Structure 1
Amino acid sequence: MSEPLEPITDTQMPGVLAANIGTPIKLSDLMLDGVTAEAARSGDAVKIWTRLHLTSDDRFFHRIVEGLGAHVEYRAREAGHYISLTRSGFILLVIHPDNTGDLWLDTAAVTLQVLAKRSMVAGTVLFENDIADVTAMSFPLVEIGPHDRVVCIFREGWRFALFFDFNPKGELAIADMERDLGTLHRRLKYRDLYDAIADENVFGRLIDAGWFPFVEILGREFRNLATQCEAGFELEEVEKKLLAAFNAQRIESMFVRWMAKPHFAGKERLLRSALNNFAAGDSIAVIKIVLTEIEGILREAYRRVQGKGAKLKRLLEFAVQSAEAKAGQPDTLLFPAAFGHYLKSYTFADFDPVARTGNAGSRHAVGHGEADADSYTHVRALQALLTLDQLAFYT
């Protein structure tokens, strides 16, 4: 994967294919209106799912897919098409009000709406390392009307996803469908990241070491850290490689991103000094500047929205809420709730002045002069910069 080479912004980047690469199979008599949500005997009332999205990790996935697939393959044979849906990686079925349908097997153009780390022009090659988040999936060249029903099954790696909306009210919510499809893609593609956050042992070790799936290192770099923590190995070698990857060009791209934010721009001289000191290897100066300025930058962001200041607890809540609002949902790759936990547990962690437990990862310990001198490492300096950078994506 390529490292970011240009200034990184929060531009929304749609990746639209120029055309569908085939035509749909025409089907009829598609009697698909719901899926039972529970067991029931003959004559009993039963709950029905008319809209659902889930992955192959869900225990109902295979049962539902097999039933849907059998019906679709049967109707396809009636139409003279002998197909096996298990051979397709992307299945899209659009069912019209008259129960006719268009079945697209690996032939429909697909758009992923992503939050890009860096600014781009049309035609730029996009690497996975350039993606900060995936927010939606759509089919720009497939006609889907408000009265249609939709079934979509797709594969990502070794996992599968299922979405269906049988639209009983005849008011298909296209935007909601695209959002849910984006969620499914994100959960499949980045399942290892979600697993690392969900695993208390792994995430706990990451936080103890000062690490988080920061947007700037999302991808291979963070995966290396998480893998080491999962194995219980020391992080020294991985951290050394990560530090080496933050050359002057990459650091400058972060600075450009910060200066695009009004609540960062007022701190230009201080932040420039921090970056210059990072390049010079002076971790003490970096940490002293960045950790003491984070709260001020958050307060300025809050003031621009609310018209007044707030105490730290409210500022941390505001950061999480801003990220959720920006991404449109709480479980995106920005991991806002998890970052809120990271801020409270690490960046703004309390310390015991009697037991002298403070280290240079804690803004409180640094601000009160209670951080152990040996804890002012270059790794912690990078973590401070990445924490600040994360807030640039959030606010």
Structure 2
Amino acid sequence: MTESFEPIADKPAPGVLAGNLGTPIKLTELMLNGVTAEAGRGGATIKVWTRLYLTSDDRFFHRIVEGLAAHIEHRSAQAGHHISLTRPGFILLVIHPDNTGDLWLDAAAVSLHIMVKRSMAAGTVIFENDIADVTAMSFPLVEIGKQDRVVCIFREGWRFALFFDFNADGALSIEDMERDLGTLHRRLKYRDLYDAIADENVFARLIEAGWFPFVEILGREFRELANNCEAGFELDDVEAKSLAAFDARRVETMFARWMAKPHFAGKERLLRSALNNFASGDSIAVLKIILTEIEGILSVAYRKVHGRGARTKKLLEFAVQSAEKKAGQPDTLLFPSAFAHYLKSHTFAEFDPVARTGKASSRHAVGHGEADADSYTQVRALQALLTLDQLAFYT
């Protein structure tokens, strides 16, 4: 897991962690303890939210934010600071038990906890295509106590997120807060990916063509595929572009990732043979090896955890559960639930031997020699490699 800190105006001393960008505004009489969850007349009993996180796509977002902002701006004015909360991109309010608080406006250092695609040394510059997943967001240099209350509003692109925990039980969970803030950042930053998965027509066309938001192509490459599917365009050109991007260096990076996993390392000779054949353009050999070895690799990983083997259905469930456990939740950029659908409907798709509907993307069709010869393409071979690579992140 890697952390990246926002830059600061002044250079820190060698070996000293960068500080916050500024200092907080000190406030008093912050009477924030909940937000109404439903309407009610005077004397009625209503539900109240004491903890919530949502984005600006939610219908309640603006109503809640405007109410919170009005109170915070009023208390700030009383403290001699005439501010507008519509301007900062990152707002953090930490309220103490005595109702005093620290208001950070684009001033607190922010740390993102991410899963990276490749090995990295400390001090390495991180690019978007290095990120496999975002699992948490934290404020490493802001003191937040167990008795405190927290409000956080931030912007990512053209969308906003809101988090608040008014600590109704008096024991603020910092870990849960950081996880939920990471979820909000992820939903804002990668909204187009979530939209592509949620759109049944787009996702169905992607799967039919053998594509998925594989970790290795997450970002620009997958966006091009999804955009073409959404537009109803043929994928020949964008597939050729994706195929050309997988040169020897990139494939070797994937291979190194596999060999770091014990359940992959035992298949080194077979996987090396598959990659050599991919480099030479022999898609038949690649698909024959990879699609039949996926199940074996999952079986080794499952046996290591459970001490016994399992059938294919159980192995696929294990892969998805492993991804959810590793990421800490089911809706991360690993998309475990969606990948389960991909595996069942594509990689392990059933076929009709009478109608001869088998394709080289299906492990069953390939294993039984029922795949159409014309379906053994280099694009299908790349998709098989990416499927195996996805499992390297899962298990």
TM-score, normalisation: structure 2:
0.97
Q: Distance in 1 between matches of 2:237 and 2:306?
A: 44
- Counterpart in the other structure of 1:197: 197
- Counterpart in the other structure of 1:78: 78
- Counterpart in the other structure of 1:151: 151
- Counterpart in the other structure of 2:5: 16
- Counterpart in the other structure of 1:206: 206
Q: Distance in 1 between matches of 2:253 and 2:59?
A: 44
Q: Distance in 1 between matches of 2:366 and 2:375?
A: 10
**Do residues 341 (structure 1) and 341 (structure 2) align?**
yes
**Do residues 319 (structure 1) and 312 (structure 2) align?**
no
What's the CA shift for 1:359? Answer: 0.6
- Counterpart in the other structure of 2:12: none
**Do residues 221 (structure 1) and 221 (structure 2) align?**
yes
- Counterpart in the other structure of 2:54: 54
Contact 1:147–1:170 (CA under 8 A) maintained in structure 2: yes
Paired amino acid for 1:16:
F
Contact 1:212–1:342 (CA under 8 A) maintained in structure 2: yes
- Counterpart in the other structure of 2:9: none
Q: How does 1:98-247 map to 2 (within 5 A)?
A: 98-247=98-247
Q: How does 1:367-382 map to 2 (within 5 A)?
A: 367-382=367-382
Deviations 1:248-269 (A, max 9, x none): 0000010011011111111100
Contact 1:27–1:79 (CA under 8 A) maintained in structure 2: yes
1:53 match: secondary structure:
strand
Q: Distance in 1 between matches of 2:118 and 2:254?
A: 10
Deviations 1:336-359 (A, max 9, x none): 000000000000000001111001
- Counterpart in the other structure of 2:34: 34
Return 5+ residue gaps in structure 1 as ranges. 1-11
Deviations 1:283-336 (A, max 9, x none): 000000000100000000000000000000000000000000000000000000
Q: Distance in 1 between matches of 2:168 and 2:345?
A: 46
Paired amino acid for 2:78:
E
Q: Distance in 2 between matches of 1:266 and 1:164?
A: 48
Q: Distance in 1 between matches of 2:305 and 2:161?
A: 38
- Counterpart in the other structure of 2:14: none
What's the CA shift for 1:43? Answer: 0.4
Q: Distance in 2 between matches of 1:380 and 1:87?
A: 49
Q: Distance in 2 between matches of 1:121 and 1:103?
A: 35
Contact 1:54–1:162 (CA under 8 A) maintained in structure 2: yes
Contact 1:16–1:140 (CA under 8 A) maintained in structure 2: no
**Do residues 94 (structure 1) and 83 (structure 2) align?**
no
* RMSD after superposition: 0.5
Q: Distance in 2 between matches of 1:311 and 1:169?
A: 45
1:221 match: secondary structure:
helix
Task: Choose between structure 1 and 2 for higher RCO, CA contacts under 8 A separated by at least 6 residues.
Answer: 1
- Counterpart in the other structure of 2:392: 392
Deviations 1:146-203 (A, max 9, x none): 0000000000000000000000221000000000000000000000000000000000
1:272 match: secondary structure:
helix
Identity of aligned residues (%): 81
1:86 match: secondary structure:
coil
- Counterpart in the other structure of 2:64: 64
What's the CA shift for 1:16? Answer: 2.9
Paired amino acid for 2:248:
A
Return 5+ residue gaps in structure 2 as ranges. 7-17
Q: Distance in 1 between matches of 2:280 and 2:379?
A: 14
Paired amino acid for 2:343:
L
Q: Distance in 2 between matches of 1:245 and 1:168?
A: 52
2:115 match: secondary structure:
strand
Contact 1:114–1:135 (CA under 8 A) maintained in structure 2: yes
Greater alpha carbon shift after TM alignment, 12-21 vs 374-383: 12-21
What's the CA shift for 1:230? Answer: 0.3
2:86 match: secondary structure:
helix
1:87 match: secondary structure:
coil
Paired amino acid for 1:230:
E
What's the CA shift for 1:225? Answer: 0.2
TM-score, normalisation: structure 1:
0.97
- Counterpart in the other structure of 2:300: 300
Q: Distance in 2 between matches of 1:125 and 1:159?
A: 26
Q: Distance in 2 between matches of 1:185 and 1:198?
A: 18
Q: How many residues align?
A: 384
What's the CA shift for 1:122? Answer: 1.4
Q: Distance in 2 between matches of 1:348 and 1:165?
A: 44
Q: Distance in 2 between matches of 1:50 and 1:293?
A: 50
Paired amino acid for 2:394:
Y
